[in-house]
Amino acid sequence: MAKEITTAEYRALAELRYRIRKFVRDGDIVARSAGLEPQQYLLLLAIRGMPEGEEPTIRSLAERLALKHQSTVELIDRLESHGYVRRARSRDDRRRVLVSLLPRGEQLLEEVAQQRISELRSSGTAFVNAIGALLEAGRSPRSRKRPRRVSRSGVKS
């Protein structure tokens, strides 16, 4: 039988959900103030932040954005029309289409990403503490140690 969820777990889960939603909402505002729709920013970020060894194909970008292939194509169309990205056929497999950032897209992405990183560096402690509280609440009393909190300077206490 499943263990009953404690009040501490509900609170920790609610806090984490709040922090995630707030971060996403604030990011949408920053993207819009830079002239991008939130999905456009996320696509630019997915291209630039593609894991090592993985190419920014339409399929991989659709997967990373949790979008359908056609929705990703439409998003790329809009970004391409503004001069932010470029499509090119893969040299290895002409069926695959690779998407790359153009200098204008790279510059816009950097503007938004700098603000997002700065915010995370200043308020990321709340994220870490929310996750820590949720993980700690799920431990058995025997294995429970004093939770380690992360200070604003990033030092664990």
What six digits make up the tokens of 76?
A: 């790329």
118 is in which domain, residue-wise? Answer: 7-137
Any domain includes 59: yes
Q: Which CATH number is 59's domain given?
A: 1.10.10.10
Assess whether pLDDT exceeds 80 at residue 37. Answer: yes
**Of the ranges 15-19, 30-34, 131-135, which one carries the lowest mean pLDDT score?**
131-135
The closest of 47, 52, 49 to 86, measured between CA atoms, is 47
- The reported pLDDT for the residue numbered 148 is 57
Does a structural domain hold residue 122?
yes
77 pLDDT tier (thresholds 50, 70, 90): very high
Average pLDDT of the residues in 114-127:
90
Helix-then-strand count for the chain, H and E: 5, 2
Q: Tell me how far apart the alpha carbons of residues 19 and 16 are, in angstroms, rounded to a whole number.
A: 5
Domain membership flag for residue 107: yes
pLDDT-above-90 percentage for the chain: 63
